[in-house]
Amino acid sequence: MVIQIDEISKLFGTTAALHPVSLSIPGGALVALLGPSGSGKTTLLRILGGLEYPTSGRVLFDGQDATGMTVQERRAGFVFQSYALFRHMTVFDNIAYGLNARPRASRPSKAEIARRVTRLLDLIQLPQIADRYPSQLSGGQRQRVALARALAIEPRMLLLDEPFGALDAKVRKELRQGLREIHDTTGLTTVFVTHDQDEAMELADLVVVMSMGRIEQIGRPQDIRTRPATPFVRDFIAG
Amino acid sequence: MSDIPLPPAGLRPAAARRFHAPTDEAPAARLVLILLAVLGLGVLVLAPLATVFAEALSRGIGTALASLSDPQAWSAIRLTLLVAAIAVPLNAVFGVAAAWAITKFDFRGKAFLITLIDLPFSVSPVVAGLCIVLTFGANSLIGGWLVAHGFPIVFALPGIVLATMFVTFPFVARELIPVMIEQGRAEEEAALTLGASGWRVFRTVTLPNIRWALLYGVLLCNARAMGEFGAVAVVSGKIRGQTATVPISIEMLYNEYMTVAAFSMAALLAFLGLVTLLIKTALEIRHADQLTAQRRH
């Protein structure tokens, strides 16, 4: 799905989290929103997911205006920074949540739900953990369960907020590869937020560098490395 | 620390033997503090409580039970249970609604709403009762109209329920707010992105996460609802057999020197309170993790 962001701005009270920004994301791309904290990257991601409404501007999905769409209608698979797994539910119930929440007419049968959950657990390479609770999982396992839960709703796009933020360096490396593989298998347009330039450069097809609520540069990783557009980008990727 | 083998005590330097943790008190000080606490508890709590049961049973358990089965006593017990059965569920609903609004949304006047919730803790129950009498009494505009239409508030059940609800309003909300603040909005947001409606999110995510705190708040609310005296005394009119709750009856019986009857009722009320305390303690032990956010009162 092609995502277009057209002059989106966001004010919190009187502070501008986003100055009008525009961005076009090609279908099937893996895009990183890269920037320090307070750069507006998470706000932009939440606007795409329908968790925040922009103060002005439009969001278009495949050319259609989606600005007024509710969070439920958008069908965006969202992975939260601390994963936000439902702590009182097993891994199975977590992943099945989106399917169970569908209206009766479009809800798959119990057997079909079980089949899909099993397939997703295989996809994230954790087939044995269906009966465990989130508190019994490691950080890396939680991240993958959150990913499976987001994929279960057959989303139109994947949005990930600092998906590797809470993990140690070794697990982080492994899961980067995991996300790349899942992206390539599903072909979903994927946007992830990160403050780690290595992560953005290594993983993404397209990197969007942000600072102070503005987009500093949009480009392929090697272009940003070789031709930083602004002094900020040069400093940021050097640090 | 325990992995490091220590030399025998005699060989350790004197300073090490004298060392104790900076937060440890000297044994004598410890003993004095413990004695003070035990003495305070004994004189202020245990002795009076024991006296209530002793007085109730002073003429044997038969007399005590007989005084409880007196029609007027029985009517007081029924009224108290009825009032609690109406006031507690309503306050549970209001408390959840208030806590939900305060913790999940940002809006103007939030601080004012939080203060308002705490108001019943700072206003004397007698004053609260008086406010209800002035607002809904037969001489007021609303009260006059309601009485004319055969629905009196004051000196009747609705007034007692209102007074009880006012006094017990903060309990549920106060228990829930810290828990819900700590849990944040992320799980609810996740459920929304997965396609769940607002009501479904509340039912399947919010409510299960706050269930123990809610039960805890309801228990405290219930204990207070059954024991409330001041506000109810003002609005009830103390009509024996009609608007006298258990606490009101205890006071009236005591003033009339009906010691055994008064203490039997008191023992019953104390017993209900103790049961509440027991359930509350059991909850604290089993679900401490979900209740830790709220050790405030």
Q: Which two tokens stand for residue A188?
A: 């979903």
pTM score, whole prediction: 0.81
What's the pLDDT score for residue B8?
A: 62
pLDDT band at B203 (very low <50, low <70, confident <90, very high): very high
Distance from CA of A220 to the nearest CA of B (A): 29
What's the pLDDT score for residue B15?
A: 61
What's the pLDDT score for residue B80?
A: 94
Domain ranges within chain B, ordered by starting residue: 65-294
Q: Do A72 and B197 touch (CB under 8 A)?
A: yes
Are A158 and A75 contacting, i.e. CB atoms less than 8 angstroms apart? no
Please compute the mean of the pLDDT values over residues B66-75 and round it to a whole number.
88
pLDDT band at B69 (very low <50, low <70, confident <90, very high): confident
Separation CA B204–CA A96 (nearest Å)? 13
**Strand order in A30-34's β-sheet?**
A76-79, A157-161, A189-194, A30-34, A206-211, A214-219
Nearest to A68 by CA among A76, A80, A58: A58
Give A76's contacts in chain B (Cβ within 8 Å): 193
Beta bridge partners of A215: A210
Q: Do A86 and B196 touch (CB under 8 A)?
A: no
Q: Which residue has the higher pLDDT, B37 or B276?
A: B37
Give B194's contacts in chain A (Cβ within 8 Å): 97-98, 101, 149-150, 152-153
Distance from CA of B103 to the nearest CA of A (A): 17
Dmax (CA) for chain A in angstroms is: 56
Contacts of B280 (CB under 8 A, 6+ apart): B216, B219, B220
Q: Do B187 and A84 touch (CB under 8 A)?
A: yes
Separation CA A214–CA B125 (nearest Å)? 56
Assign domain A3-75+156-238 to its CATH architecture: 3-Layer(aba) Sandwich (3.40)
Distance from CA of A24 to the nearest CA of B (A): 22
Separation CA A186–CA A147 (nearest Å)? 12
What's the pLDDT score for residue B295?
A: 41
Which residue on chain A is closest to B207 by alpha carbon?
A88
What's the pLDDT score for residue A65?
A: 95
Give B190's contacts in chain A (Cβ within 8 Å): 78, 80, 84-86, 149
pLDDT band at A196 (very low <50, low <70, confident <90, very high): very high
Q: Which residue has the higher pLDDT, B293 or A13?
A: A13
Q: Do B195 and A149 touch (CB under 8 A)?
A: no
Question: Which tens digits make up the pLDDT trace of B225-241?
Answer: 999 999 999 998 888 88
Q: Give the CATH number of domain B65-294; options: 3.40.50.720, 3.40.50.300, 1.10.3720.10, 3.50.50.60.
A: 1.10.3720.10
What's the pLDDT score for residue A205?
A: 95
Question: Which tens digits make up the pLDDT trace of A85-118?
Answer: 999 999 999 999 999 999 999 999 999 999 999 9
Q: Do B191 and A97 touch (CB under 8 A)?
A: yes
Q: Do B194 and A97 touch (CB under 8 A)?
A: yes
Residue B186 CB neighbour total at 10 angstroms = 15
Q: Do A153 and B186 touch (CB under 8 A)?
A: no
Give A161's contacts in chain B (Cβ within 8 Å): none
Q: Is the CB of B147 inside 8 Å of chain A's CB atoms?
A: no
Q: What is the DSSP letter of B6?
A: P
Which of B194, B202, B209, B211 to mutate to probe the A interface, most A CBs <10 Å?
Answer: B194
Residue B38 in this model has a pLDDT that exceeds 60: yes
Stretch among A90-94, A182-186, B87-91, B103-107 having the lowest mean pLDDT = B103-107
Please compute the mean of the pLDDT values over residues A32-49 and round it to a whole number.
95
Separation CA A106–CA A125 (nearest Å)? 28
Give B191's contacts in chain A (Cβ within 8 Å): 86, 97, 101
What's the pLDDT score for residue B107?
A: 85
Of A72, A86, A102, the CB nearest to B187: A86
Residue A156 CB neighbour total at 10 angstroms = 16
Residue B3 in this model has a pLDDT that exceeds 60: no
Which residue on chain A is closest to B186 by alpha carbon?
A84
Interface of A with B (CB under 8 A): 49-51, 71-72, 74-78, 80-82, 84-88, 97-98, 101-102, 149-150, 152-153
Q: Is the CB of B196 inside 8 Å of chain A's CB atoms?
A: yes
Question: Which tens digits make up the pLDDT trace of B271-293?
Answer: 988 888 888 888 888 877 656 54
Domain ranges within chain A, ordered by starting residue: 3-75+156-238, 88-153
Pairing of strands A56-61, A64-65: antiparallel
Stretch among A33-37, B116-120, B139-143 having the lowest mean pLDDT = B139-143
What's the pLDDT score for residue B294?
A: 41
Of B187, B195, B205, the CB nearest to A98: B195
Q: Is the CB of B55 inside 8 Å of chain A's CB atoms?
A: no
Distance from CA of B140 to the nearest CA of A (A): 44
Of B186, B196, B209, the CB nearest to A101: B196
Distance from CA of A104 to the nearest CA of B (A): 13
Residue B5 in this model has a pLDDT that exceeds 70: no
Give B208's contacts in chain A (Cβ within 8 Å): 88
Q: Do B193 and A88 touch (CB under 8 A)?
A: no
Q: Do B190 and A149 touch (CB under 8 A)?
A: yes
Q: Is the CB of B195 inside 8 Å of chain A's CB atoms?
A: yes
Q: Which residue has the higher pLDDT, B10 or B143?
A: B143
What's the pLDDT score for residue B149?
A: 87
Which residue on chain B is closest to A84 by alpha carbon?
B187
